[in-house]
Amino acid sequence: MGFASTNSAAQIEDAVEVAVAEARVRESDPDWVSLPSNGKYPTVSGIFDKKSRDSGT
């Protein structure tokens, strides 16, 4: 898998070319299965630290 990014619509094709070129030279990753799907994720509670909210930064 290759990766490239851009903030410019004019450079999308260049970013795609970079990603494809990178993907071609990388070795296969046996642990990679697929991109994430649109699934449901569990709600997690009890992890927010109020000190971070009140830190003033």
Q: What is the pLDDT of residues 8-23, one digit of tens each?
A: 999 999 999 999 999 9
Three-class SS state of 8: coil
> Do 32 and 38 contact (CB within 8 A), yes or no?
no
Average pLDDT, the chain: 89
Rounded CA-CA distance 3/25 in Å is 12
Rounded CA-CA distance 16/13 in Å is 5
Query: Stretch 45-54: mean pLDDT, rounded?
Result: 85
> What per-residue confidence (pLDDT) applies to 57?
61
Give 4's pLDDT tier (boundaries 50, 70, 90): very high
**6 has pLDDT over 90:** yes
